[in-house]
Structure 1
């Protein structure tokens, strides 16, 4: 059962208090621009967090865990979340000996809340800034939803030369194009995305409860097991980011045609999608993407929702590991 409105209100106050403390700490230059490593516990490698400055001087928050000489797995999160959405995957892969890296997209999470640059080209360039700063090579890039679009643009534009990318994974990803157009008749009408923008502009806090409570995790399906903590964590991540970035980001994930990106990618690419994805319908995304990829493989999960990386991590994580190792 979902918490009562009173219980949710108390939980939200706790989240907002924690976010205020975090925001205060990040506002202090001595903390915001520092690189810190926590000590290893129980044999786990040290965990590092830092900020990387992009070419247009935007500070991007980065997590870098695991042995620096291990193969890197780089995670790209969805809208309107943060690198925290990859907790289940990052812990899984670091425990298997990999170096795991994830960043908060500009305007999202703990990254700088700049006014401009909320488009797929800047997303990919920011990812490249992180990769270049850490000098990551032979990496596997895994993107969810909007992050899948970011991976496709990054790999096509920056990642394949110089051995920086070994493989790619698109999970419930938005390419090739979400918007319905004359050349993409199976897409979603503009009214759907106008609804996203209206939700962000009118009452973002409520909208960011409605999305995870309903279609994102499939919690609106009859008989679905509902996890209030998952809903509240989605809300927490969303509310950490910038409303401007989230508003502009709707255009980025819905109107960016990535057909040519997919055609350009030559590395092995795994496409994972649930056939009950209510946010990014499979017929106009994964099923089209795999036909455009030169070296793509599609795996469909029956009944799985858009947020299956969280609800079904026990199934998805071993499949990701098998692809990385294969």
Structure 2
């Protein structure tokens, strides 16, 4: 397997496809998945001549199931280790959901001279949790409920999550793909229960406001208005306002897992942004 070892001894698995001289696109996956969740995007863009890279977050997929470091600072540092190992420059970073938070922190802290653009898809910034300064956020009980379900029966919880709100399969008239559900479940079950449990705090309680304010590269914020996981009203428009060079696009009726359910649309949007 292709891996890089971080300063704290964690092995991070990554994929690196396409010409080494081509412009790189770095994909950051969502919770609790792996780099496999980007198959539709990676195959599309490698076919367009780009170099595509995606890693498994620590505790996820094929990366080390370590006990510690399941927070955004470590996630961003792990990305930096992959980027520096491959010496990626002029890269476009694309983050979905939790991966959007990871990509935001990476670009803000480590992206100088290496990042060309940023894309945030159904992403968790600026802050998911309801606090006094973020009254539109979700109450802590929502995230406590996720933790309780994970601890009680992780396998069933993941199956229900993928079969329902993640892809909008709980909506009337939706066409459910059991293959998509099982692929989500497969990816999730590859990872560490502890990493996933602690990752809930990382994606829900991390405030990315200052990160967003510091980012100067062109940033595309893409969201669906039927996102049942990261509600659009308290995420995408707020992120776009904080960015110095942000572009916002909200699609009607698209679910959280839009990169899979509407891969053709998402790929076309990303390709157009890459060309600007």
Q: Which runs of 4+ in 1 moved over 2 A?
A: none
Q: Give, in whole Å, the separation in 2 of the partners of 1:74 and 1:250.
A: 23
Aligned counterpart in structure 1 of residue 130 of structure 2, from 151, 175, 180: 180
CA distance in 1, matches of 2:123, 2:197: 19
Secondary structure in 2 matching 1:123: helix
In the other structure, the counterpart of 2:42 is: 90
- What corresponds to 1:209 in structure 2? 159
2: CA distance between counterparts of 1:55 and 1:149?
21
User: TM-score, normalising length from structure 2?
Assistant: 0.99
Residue number among 13, 18, 26 corresponding to 1:66 in the alignment:
18
Shift of residue 325, structure 1, vs aligned partner: 1.5
Structure showing greater relative contact order (alpha-carbon pairs closer than 8 Å, 6 or more residues apart): 2
Deviation of 1:102 (Å): 0.2
Alpha-carbon distance in 1 for matches of 2:207, 2:196: 19
Please say if 1:78 is aligned against 2:30: yes
Give structure 1 stretches of 5+ with no counterpart: 1-48
Structure 1 residue 200: deviation in Å? Answer: 1.1
Distance 1:210 1:139 in 2: 36
- Write the distance in 1 (CA, Å) between the matches of 2:24 and 2:79: 14
The whole-number CA distance in structure 1 between the counterparts of 2:19 and 2:159 is 37
Match runs of 1:226-237 below 5 Å: 226-237=176-187
Displacement of 1:221: 0.2
The match for 1:25 is none
Per-residue Cα deviation, 1:23-59 (whole angstroms, up to 9, x for no partner):
xxxxxxxxxxxxxxxxxxxxxxxxxx51000111100
The answer to whether residue 146 in structure 2 is matched with residue 146 in structure 1 is no
Question: What's the counterpart of residue 3 of structure 2?
Answer: 51
2:147 aligned residue: 197
| Equivalent residue, structure 2, for 1:170 | 120
Alpha-carbon distance between aligned partners in 2 of 1:100 and 1:199, rounded to the nearest angstrom: 35
Are 2:168 and 1:221 aligned? no
TM-score of the aligned structures, taking structure 1 as reference length: 0.84
